[in-house]
Amino acid sequence: MADRPITPWAMVYERLHAHFGAQDWWPAQSPFEVMVGAILTQNTAWRNVERAIGALRAADALSVFAILGMAEADLAQLIRPAGYFRVKAKRLRALCAFLAAQGVAADPGQLGRGQDPAALRQNLLVVHGVGEETADAILLYALDAAVPVVDAYTRRIGERLALLPEKASYREIQSAIAAEIPAEAAVLNELHALLVQLGKEYCRPRPRCELCPLRSLCPYAYP
Ligand code: SF4
């Protein structure tokens, strides 16, 4: 983000990038695997998602056709390590049915090609089990759309840094970031990954401010 005026969120990006380095998200081998991961990661740790995706891969079931062609109960057993497996099996099948209806079952990375990301977002939000965070993760990490992803880490860190209005909605947080960060998928991809890393290592519920690369910017650390 060189040669741009430095905004508070851009400063956060620069500091985190200097501290942690490139995160190279999303850890997946295809856009469809990103989409599957975005559903499976709801309310669970990533290591559990990896086990579930590994089971899908081992069963040769990591495709829209395979998931739609198997019984929901069998799918649920395969993704059991991700938790809430019956709920998530239903959600995965709903997503796959959506992809098939959009004509991209064979190549889900083509979803919404040439379509306005805002319109595609609205369509995704209608799919059973796809909320704002999941829709935006699919847009950014599977489809390279320049859309900020907001999660619990983003909210916690933004609130502690006093960069968000009190009790901000998802859309308000997204707008606050979009106003200060270039609308480039690569930058937004990296920002979200860096915030997750910060949230895991330092900005935990009980924060480790003394070690945090943002401490000199943070009113929570220096009230
Ligand atoms: S200084 Fe503390 S509260 Fe502020 S971002 Fe870092 S870990 Fe979180």
The per-residue b/e assignment along 17-28, b for 16 or more CB within 10 angstroms, e otherwise, is beeeeebebbeb
Mean pLDDT of 4-10: 85
Q: Would the pLDDT of 5 be above 70?
A: no
Residues 152, 158 contacting (CB under 8 angstroms)? no
Q: How far is CA 84 from CA 15, 42, 44, 135, 152, in A?
A: 36, 9, 9, 19, 19
Pocket test for ligand 1, best of 16, 154, 209 (most atoms within 8 A of CB): 209
- Which of 2-16, 27-41, 127-141, 152-166 has the least mean pLDDT? 2-16
Mean pLDDT of 148-161: 97
- Centroid of chain to Cα 67: 22
Residues 218, 169 contacting (CB under 8 angstroms)? no
Domains of the chain, start order: 31-142 (1.10.340.30)
Pocket test for ligand 1, best of 203, 208, 210, 217 (most atoms within 8 A of CB): 203
- What is the pLDDT, as a whole number, of residue 222? 82
- Does residue 187's CB lie within 6 angstroms of at least one atom of ligand 1? no
Residue 100 tokens, joined? 């098939």
Neighbours of 106 (CB within 10 A): 11
For ligand 1, atom 4, name the residue with the nearest CA. Answer: 218
Residue 218 CA: which ligand 1 atom is closest?
4
Q: How confident is the model at residue 3 (pLDDT cuts 50, 70, 90)?
A: low
Could you give the percent of the chain with pLDDT greater than 90? 94
Q: How confident is the model at residue 166 (pLDDT cuts 50, 70, 90)?
A: confident
- Does residue 157's CB lie within 6 angstroms of at least one atom of ligand 1? yes
For ligand 1, atom 8, name the residue with the nearest CA. Answer: 203
pTM above 0.85, yes or no: yes
Using one digit for the tens of pLDDT, what is the confidence trace for 186-214? 999 999 999 999 999 999 999 999 999 99
C-alpha 46 to ligand 1 mean position (Å): 23
- Does residue 214's CB lie within 6 angstroms of at least one atom of ligand 1? yes
- Does residue 160's CB lie within 6 angstroms of at least one atom of ligand 1? yes
* Residue 4 or 26, more confident: 26
Q: Whats the size of the chain, residue-wise?
A: 223
